[in-house]
Structure 1
């Protein structure tokens, strides 16, 4: 009996050990993190990356570690998704898991974790839902906003005409025109091109772009090592001050709206938000606060100005490089629209070549190569890996827009990437410059409309005459970090 008891205990111990081992092995497999280069304490993998071209550095790492890998940007762990399949799988197939916003320290200083772009959880859900509804109420995607863009396009054309064929940098003209569209939705009115406050506001945005372009190492270092950089002087401090001035500008407009608000007749996004605040004033946990209004307004203003204006600025540079492409677009404009009326959105379906050129501009410039950082909202199993809750995610849009299987010779500008053999427009699932899934850009429809209407209006009225010989025009970005910005240039606009 004693021997039997000892044997039983031994068997139970063995079974327990086997179960424990199986459980440990299962947990170990489930906790398998994506691979990546060995990180150095404090600095992580910074010394292994090129701050002037981070996408290229991450591309090389993907070739070694696969489409899902981990890098450490200072103490911050980031999971990188490289390639269409993994980006689609994360942002669309597992959209809810990857719907968080991973906030870089510099963005956190700018937006304080509230507003539409950088918030998370219920705050983000409520603000995004409200914003989409309100933007639609004020005409986004409807005939009203199309007419507003057409009107602004004519102001832009007249302003260009007044340059009398002299070469100039068109950036400010394009930024002013694009900005006025979002201003009319958010603030209730456009600004005159000579308005001093408006010009100051645009100058602040332009200054921040220059800092990002010319001093990217310091800006990158802030995102990697914010605790140290907070105590050091540099361009990051000036950028933060500039955003503070933008905040002051918008706060003044909000105060004016509070004084003149008629709840029965909201004029714009700010009025609608103030009405929502009044409705929820007895809700101690309301997400609709003055700070949320200020941040959301800045989000809409910056996003509604920067992305579209840079696409147009970059597009005009590319068309100088390839005058034969610009000429084909102009022939299609003359055939479908003529010279006597403004372009409208109904024309686009009859203009496959122009549509292909616009898509190719967006694909080629790859404006946000990293996407805006995401985060997983819960512990997530992705393929064979475990990604802990709140891990920052870089779904690399550059790896999708420059996929060589979908777009042969992706580094070459070629409208044929979006044309069938018979000349009709060819759609592509790989075309996601506005991201995809639950965090897709809220203003995508507005941006598409603006790019088409502004670009066709310009080419309907002018031929581009570059200062340099076509072969000497550099269409690659100044440098690549969070955004791809074109080289500064001058061009003459010759009336047609």
Structure 2
């Protein structure tokens, strides 16, 4: 009996040693990086370092210097992760089909209400079919054309009226900018307008803001250790995501159900927005010329697609405009130069559409420099290697998660020379025209490029020019202007206050 017990104990010890060795062993020719700890890999080390230095993006850059490599190999719990730095490698990731996949993690499924649908977090045939269908329908209903411009004009005028009503009091602009951006996209998607003071909308925007700060680009501990949601649902952010999902689902489904009623009454002739286009496709049982049917078109896929647009449009564009206004308050010299350009090139009855942006090179340069300098999405992705491949001489195993360090491109010292200096003139040539710099890629590249980039650029340009045309931005000692951003899924400004003084 003692012998059997001894054999069992020795066998158990051997198995444990083998499991430990397997969990800390790096794949052959895997990129360099910090050693893996048994079972947890680099998870805790990354979280600890991120808290110490102010974000994961800084940790990744420090490790790139420490290990003298622009490709860093990590392991987060049981998931292999590589981080890519430098423009040449980032470009390879953006343009190579092997990196077009998305990881299938607990956090990404939780982000899409437990599904693997929509167009942001999917890949393969589903992603390709629905991305193409969505963008085709958006163009048909006016995306990038006159109908979209008309909504931007309407929202810009509403924004100016709202600022006027503030009566020159100090306010945080982030509290009202997102509504203006969302309304343009929401109208194209649903054919409806949202009221600025709508309680549900404000609740959603608040929840999205909390979500952005509660998680990181890797999804926090919920991605590596999803079982922790049962032990600490609040601390892990699990309850926050569930609350946000409920609110978003109810918000979106309310619009979808209204469309269904109208669609049924009109016998499917309504096609004025994205929801009607999806409903019509769902109703059709015909196959296209390639033999593809509409089996993937259902209410949950429609809901997730709208969700993707809502999440993307509600924060990145409004946060960027938020930071533009903060920089104008910090740099009166830039604001004055910008106003001079607007005053000389725009009459009071004309609206600054993106189509006339060539008349406003300095305004464009300011927007570009804000996007470069603050890089609110310092780490983009995540991507998934669809098959084993090579990158910079290293082996990338199949299904490895790939994180793209956009910050390493937008703050590359060798390219930009003085990246830590806020200098819009870097985007202007000797004749005052815009320089289209290859390293300026805030919206990505390739087939995974942000589908809403045109809307974002249009809103940023039109809203900024209209604000500068009508108001002078001022701050005081209590404004708490700070260029150090709060880390999270995206970087966001710390709350500050400015005053919009009406120009005479």
TM over 0.5: yes
Q: How does 1:233-272 map to 2 (within 5 A)?
A: 233-234=233-234, 235-261=237-263, 262=266, 263-272=268-277
SS in 1 for 2:416: coil
TM-score by structure 2 length? Answer: 0.86
Equivalent residues of 2:42, 2:75 under 8 A apart? yes
Task: Please name the residue that 1:432 is paired with.
Answer: 441
**Structure 2 unaligned blocks of 5 or more:** 1-26
Equivalent residues of 1:99, 1:439 under 8 A apart? yes
Equivalent residues of 1:201, 1:246 under 8 A apart? no
User: Which of 479, 486, 493 in structure 2 is aligned with 1:486?
Assistant: 493
How big is the shift at 1:284?
Answer: 7.6
Higher mean displacement: 337-346 or 139-148: 337-346
SS in 1 for 2:437: coil
User: Which of 407, 410, 426 in structure 2 is aligned with 1:398?
Assistant: 407
Higher mean displacement: 145-154 or 46-55: 46-55
Are the structure 2 counterparts of residues 317 and 214 from structure 1 closer, same or farther at C-alpha, using a change threshold of 3 Å?
Answer: farther
User: Which of 435, 450, 453 in structure 2 is aligned with 1:444?
Assistant: 453
**Structure 1 unaligned blocks of 5 or more:** 1-29
Higher Cα radius of gyration: 1
Task: Please name the residue that 1:38 is paired with.
Answer: 35
> Distance between the aligned counterparts of 2:212 and 2:349, measured in 1?
41
> Distance between the aligned counterparts of 1:129 and 1:443, measured in 2?
13
Task: Please name the residue that 2:122 is paired with.
Answer: 119
User: Number of residue pairs matched?
Assistant: 460
> Distance between the aligned counterparts of 1:461 and 1:136, measured in 2?
32
Q: How does 1:121-270 map to 2 (within 5 A)?
A: 121-194=124-197, 196=198, 199-213=199-213, 220-234=220-234, 235-261=237-263, 262=266, 263-270=268-275
SS in 2 for 1:373: strand
The Cα offsets for residues 229-276 of structure 1, whole Å up to 9 and x where unpaired, read as 344221332233212211121112111111111422312101101111
How big is the shift at 1:468?
Answer: 2.8
Q: CA RMSD in A?
A: 2.2
Task: Please name the residue that 1:79 is paired with.
Answer: 82
Task: Say yes or no: does 1:63 pair with 2:87.
Answer: no
The Cα offsets for residues 263-301 of structure 1, whole Å up to 9 and x where unpaired, read as 223121011011111124788872212111110011111
How big is the shift at 1:432?
Answer: 0.9
User: Which of 328, 334, 345 in structure 1 is aligned with 2:343?
Assistant: 334
Task: Please name the residue that 1:15 is paired with.
Answer: none
The Cα offsets for residues 162-210 of structure 1, whole Å up to 9 and x where unpaired, read as 111011122232111111001101110212223x3xx323322323323
How big is the shift at 1:364?
Answer: 1.4
TM-score by structure 1 length? Answer: 0.88
> Distance between the aligned counterparts of 2:35 and 2:441, measured in 1?
32
Equivalent residues of 2:342, 2:469 under 8 A apart? yes
SS in 2 for 1:69: strand
> Distance between the aligned counterparts of 1:141 and 1:70, measured in 2?
40
> Distance between the aligned counterparts of 2:283 and 2:416, measured in 1?
51
Equivalent residues of 2:353, 2:458 under 8 A apart? no
How big is the shift at 1:371?
Answer: 0.7
> Distance between the aligned counterparts of 2:31 and 2:37, measured in 1?
17
> Distance between the aligned counterparts of 1:105 and 1:450, measured in 2?
33
